Structure 1
Amino acid sequence: MPGPRRNGRDCSGSSHVFKAALLGAIALAVPATRASTAGAHVAAASRAASRRAPAATSSPANNRWVSKALASRGGADEPEEAAEGIPGVLSEVEVALSSFNDIVGESLLVVDNPKKGTTKEVSASETLDGKHVAFYFSSQAVEDQLEKAAQGQETVRPTPVVKEAYKKAKEAGKELEVVYVPVADSLETYEKAMKDMPWKGIVHNNATVANLIRKAEIRVLPAVIVVDDKGEVVTRDGYSNMVFFPEDFPWKNKSLKEMLGPKFLKADGSEVTAEALEGKVLAVYFSASWCAPCKQFTPILKSVYSKLQKDGKPFEIVFVSSDKSEKEFSTYMGDMPWLSVPFDGKTRGTIAQLLGVSALPTLLVFDEEQQLITANGRQEIIKDTKAENFPWYPKALAELVESPEVITQKPSFIVFMEGGDKDEQARIRELVEPMAEARAKMVEDGKARPAGFLTASEIEPLSTAFRKLVGLDEIQGKYKFMKSKKALLKPRVALLDLMRNQFAVSEEGDLTEESLAAFVASWDAGELQTKEFNLPAKGEEGDAEGAAE
């Protein structure tokens, strides 16, 4: 059961929320986002297989601060470009060296007669060259689903948000074009939507749509990617920035310092400036006095904070409250030894949404350069109450049950070894870990595309669900005592690429350093034989959705 909600944030513990969401998404065999129970069904939509409406929400997987960071410690200043030769990413280099014809096709659609709703084709290059271009990925199904999810409460439809930002840019004399990329809309729905759009659109049913979704790595709808007049990517978070800063053309990402503001409060009511954070590892703590898991975690966090302060570590925490009243905030803050963002509803809400926080408690940890170290600070601290692993950089090789969000952020290799004893599992970790660490270094140096490495050593719901997803038989504890099940207990490796809706499983046999390296190398070379996840047939979705509850 989800926990209580206030201010739009769930209070059942971010780990619980995410795992429930991921289990639901696995059952649907489509991508999911951390702390988003709806998931992001973009892969299915990109194939124009409109079997269900894609979900829409701002979440950590849609925000650059969080979505890219666990792979290579990236953050707001992380280079957008992919390394040369790495496929599948819409990079500055690719845009700059291509004409817009190569990216969107030779033609775009524009409304010819608004009253009749007729459209005509115009030259893409003549329309876009020399201008800032905002690629607006959405679907009318997304807008309908947002209204349905609001359950009568006030909600914001994506297209009016983009319209407002577009209007303000035009009024300011900016050279801007918006290109609508319809995701899984029928021709009739697309043409109807275009009537109310003052910009251009991709020619319907063009393979360019699926290609753009894949290359731009769109995981959540709506999304806006802005490129400048030189063809360089300005931001991949254009939509979130348009929501909060519609007049701030070209909607570049705010730095963490800009988000948090110029001053902070201490428990005694005194103020300090942002300079107090300079040169320190910073944890941004989203919490509330009414949230039971928060009350359980805060004392643990206080203990770790006190230890780090005593040890002279450069560490600070900034509390962002989700309390409803200033009285609740002051009472809760009064027992905290760290800093807090002032109680300003708009500022606090903006920080939470820009950083993609939708569950409490959440602890985001940033390094001295304000690059994200981990979005799972709460879980890391609970596992490390003595702060021995400070500042909690993600491990190159993680356990599936502890870090399942990795799978939603990048293609991942899962080593299923639930059937092995402790010695066998230790042997496997010893051969996988060096490869995972080498990969992380190559990614950091721009020499390889990101890939996660996970081990599944426990028989538990997540590993069982992923086994089913990739076609491996379920393992039960009693199998370890049955000779007839010996083959099932041998370790297997699976590649999962949720964005592309693809997976592959290693062949049966002993897992060695050579066999694992060959499996990964074949994926790097584009030679790995992958399959698509099986989406449930219509009518089967109810059971799948129930899995997320």
Structure 2
Amino acid sequence: MRTEMKDGTRVVVSDNGISEELSVSKFSHLLASKDRDFLLSPSGAQVKVCDLEGKVVGLLFGANWYPPCRGFTQMLVGIYEELKRSVPDEFEVVYVSSDEDLDAFSSFYGNMPWLAIPFSDLETKKALTRKYDVEGIPCLIMLQAHDSKEVRDGVELVYRYGVQAFPFSRQRLEQLQKEDSQKRENQTLPNLLANQHRDYVLSHTGFQVPVASLVGKTIGLYFSAEWCVPCAKFTPKLISVYHKIKQELSEKGDEDFEIVLVSSDRDQASFDSYYNTMPWLALPFGDPEIKNLVRHFNVQGIPWLVIIGPDGKTITVHGRSLINLYQENAFPFTNAKVEQLEKQLEEEAKDLPTLVFHEGHRHDLNLVSDGNGGGPFICCVCDEQGSSWAYQCLQCGYEVHPKCVKAVDRDHNNNNVLMDR
């Protein structure tokens, strides 16, 4: 007697050639093979694929060699463990590895509390990758036990909603999106920054500043952390711009701008050390509203600067980019102000040379804009984001803010290149 798979159905063939069809679960069809009906567990035990029946299953495509996979896995572990406590028999994750060898797989999987397809089963892993058109990792596909429609953006759901996204169905996603829309429509500064246990933010003196006293001001919510390398570069620039804006407003007899640090530091000491370098306000370390704010504004990386208007509504989530482009001139960060600054850049660009030799670069740099080959970029001099006008090397993609260009004559530039060698 032998067992075969035909069109998602397990067929048992007896020794005399008579076959009998046996129904198989959706997960057995996906995750088992003709030689294997089990998955690995962290303890090394074999868990039957049929034990997944009735559960929501996340297929995690990842690899040890890719840093974003390690970061996402760490976050997913926390959510997985929380769901295992609250709904122990309703959720499971299965790791589908793209690791380079067994040692890498074992090392990475050793940090995971869920199930895995054996590293040796290359065919099943390839079949799953093809079936779900996995083009990048980490990738998390959410499967419902009784619904043929999978949710493919599990990584975004986990980052944005955490355990609140369970059971990770399309219906739950639509509900969360509707709630987000209602929150944006009803958004006020107090319901962003305060809760029933706390109605204040912190100052450096230890004084508790009432959130109500910030109403009517333009507020920057600065998502940052001491361990973040890009934050270490951007924070001094933001401090300088903050002082200049405050000075200009003070001269006008106006005090309608403030920044509030929303920290993702890992311990109180790191928070204290980092916050002591800043001149503005802060939410308390580890405050529960921090996770809500990260989710509400869909913060995808730090540093991240959200600007809230005097009416409590969001002006922009791209405050960092505006600071990099326009410094203190970006205030108050409104669409009208940005349009004015963009027009000003257009006028200034008319007087810029169309071709320059930049100190230390061996190729010509061409002046480009959004309409003629330019667009969002990272400046190779200051490592900050730019858009609109840039000086671009058409040979190697090198791009520089116009304000960062150090123009030299061709001979001087070539000498610099030779010396750099």
> Normalising by structure 2, what TM-score?
0.46
TM-score, normalisation: structure 1: 0.38
The structure having more radius of gyration, on CA atoms, is: 2
Greater strand fraction, Structure 1 or Structure 2: 2
